[in-house]
A and B are shown apart, each in its own frame.
Chain A
Amino acid sequence: MKKWKNALIAAVAIVVVSAVALYLNQLKTNRQPKLTKYTATFLDIFDTRTEILGYAETKEEFSEQAALLKERLVFYNKLYDIYNDYEDVANIKTINDNAGIAPVSVDPEIIELIDFSKRMYEETDGRVNIAMGAVLSIWHEYREYGSENPESATLPKIEELQEAAKHTNIEDVIIDRDAGTVFLADPEMSLDVGSTGKGYAVQRVMEYAREQGLSHVLLSLGGNISGIDGRIDGTNFKLAIQNPDLNSNEEYIEMVEITDGQCVVSSGDYQRFYVVDGEVYCHIINPDTLFPANTFAAVSLITDDSGEADAFSTAIYNMTLEEGLAFVNSREGLEAMWVYHDGSKVYSDHFEESIVE
């Protein structure tokens, strides 16, 4: 009888101890709402790779936040698309298709982008020109063909480019704010918002994220990276800048920290390019020479407006180092790093303050 009693006591004791242990364990996990870091990757926006980093209690909660931002990015992607038509929306391609024909009624966000791009044209002395579509589309064709058929890749003829360059006057882009229309006065011209569209969209989406009350978010659109707040532990987001030398064993050339609202953008000849007779020709075309710029392997910028970051990095990539340094150092809150093809680097006055180990 006694044996049974002991066994019973033992059983009860084990159950009680287990319950207490379980309870203590739960208590430890639930003491604070545990926010986990999540990332989401999309490949179907702006023909590039989008990454969203955020913190949430559950995967579902994070997915909802990411979907909110994705929806806005898709909206801007449609508006700023120069290659595709969409049933429900007039976009930049619609404006191009109606060049010299008729003004096109567009979403206010297109007017804002064009207005912003015109401002960038002025601030960069014409080095960022969204009216350069006629020239850029020639390069686009040669590059696409050359990437598919490397053996027969060729360069466009300078005469062909010069002829197209006659139709790149930004004054011919006519905005009517009251009517909500955009009209290209020159029938031979077209818009290419490659140097401003993505950055401007990121800037607008981050403003939207703030309005929605999102915090601790990092958005990267093809390497155009913008942050709200920092990490959940209060430290800054830490970003790696890719080494433009793809054959190097060092994947990154620099680590930088960004504070709330800052962004990082790189322009370089190492991602979208094609090769003719062993020479690399990248997608950034200098409006003065009508040929790809090749002074630097890459230029990286840190600033507080993603739209400006995108436009300025294109402009600075097209400048000499002296021009670029003067441009960057005369602007508050704008810092840059130039990387030459031999891997040597030049920093603007305060770039190094953002570098971390």
Chain B
Amino acid sequence: MKKNDIYLICIILIAAVGLVIFMRIWQRTNDSDSARAVVTIDGQEYGTYPLNKNITEKITQENGEYNLLQIRDGYVEVLEASCRDKICVNHKHIHYQGETIVCLPNKVVVEIVGGEENDIDGATH
């Protein structure tokens, strides 16, 4: 075997291992690292916001109602809202997959999709 052949085999092996690692990482990124807050109004999707970006977003509706959403350090909360009961504003911040903040009067649901799981299946209200 020539020296070049050995180089070639090495390159092929490295390429193959690299490819497998790349695919694993790619899969994982798509599975869970993409935690985001999905906002729906009356069942219609309004917007999606990644948890890894700090933002403050005013969710406004045609009828003038609004909920002020804040994402900070991966946690989502409603800072202000036009609804009368303020249950969404009083709600603790959410972070884990499947957690929701609901504003019944404004028909707004903020749900965490993807990301870490917190081991709770449901909660009484």
Contact residues of A between 216 and 275, Cβ < 8 Å to B: 218, 220, 222-225, 231, 237-242, 246, 251-252, 255, 264-266, 271
> With A6-B4, A41-B109 in contact, is A240–B20 under 8 Å at CB?
no
Segment touching B, from A13-21, A97-105, A183-191, A326-334: A13-21
Interface residues as binary, A16-58 with B (CB distance below 8 Å gives 1, 0 otherwise)? 0110011011000000000001010111100111010100000
A266 near B122: Cβ-Cβ < 8 Å: no
> With A6-B4, A53-B122, A147-B84 in contact, is A246–B102 under 8 Å at CB?
no
Q: Find chain B residues with CB under 8 A from A218 CB.
A: 121-122
A21 near B16: Cβ-Cβ < 8 Å: yes
> With A18-B16, A41-B111, A238-B119 in contact, is A266–B124 under 8 Å at CB?
yes
A300 interfacial contact with B, CB 8 Å: yes
Q: How many residue pairs at the A-B interface have CB separations less than 8 Å?
A: 98
B122 near A239: Cβ-Cβ < 8 Å: yes
A148 near B122: Cβ-Cβ < 8 Å: no
CA distance A13 to B10 in the complex (A): 12
Interface residues as binary, B15-53 with A (CB distance below 8 Å gives 1, 0 otherwise)? 110011001100100000000000000110000000000
B55 interfacial contact with A, CB 8 Å: no
**The one of B16, B23, B85 that contacts A147, using a Cβ cutoff of 8 Å:** B85
Q: Find chain A residues with CB under 8 A from B107 CB.
A: 43
CA distance A275 to B98 in the complex (A): 33
Per DSSP, chain B at the interface is mixed
B120 near A39: Cβ-Cβ < 8 Å: no
A239 near B125: Cβ-Cβ < 8 Å: no
Per DSSP, chain A at the interface is strand
A43 near B104: Cβ-Cβ < 8 Å: yes
**The one of A43, A47, A147, A242 that contacts B123, using a Cβ cutoff of 8 Å:** A242
The minimal Cβ–Cβ distance linking B90 to chain A, given in whole angstroms, is 5
CA distance A238 to B23 in the complex (A): 34
CA distance A25 to B20 in the complex (A): 8
B92 interfacial contact with A, CB 8 Å: yes
Q: Find chain B residues with CB under 8 A from A242 CB.
A: 123-125
Offer 11 A-B interface pairs, CB within 8 angstroms, sorted by A.
A10-B8, A21-B19, A25-B23, A25-B24, A37-B98, A39-B98, A43-B102, A220-B123, A239-B121, A239-B124, A266-B125
What residues of chain B have their CB less than 8 Å away from a CB belonging to chain A? 4-5, 8, 11-12, 15-16, 19-20, 23-24, 27, 42-43, 84-85, 87, 90, 92, 98, 100, 102, 104, 107, 109, 111, 119-125
Sample of 19 more A-B contacts, CB < 8 Å, known A42-B43, A266-B125: A6-B8, A10-B8, A41-B111, A43-B43, A48-B104, A49-B102, A220-B122, A223-B123, A224-B124, A225-B122, A231-B121, A237-B121, A238-B120, A239-B120, A239-B123, A240-B124, A241-B124, A252-B123, A266-B124
Across chains A and B, which 6 residue pairs bring their CB atoms closest together, nearest first? A223-B125, A17-B16, A240-B123, A223-B124, A266-B124, A237-B121
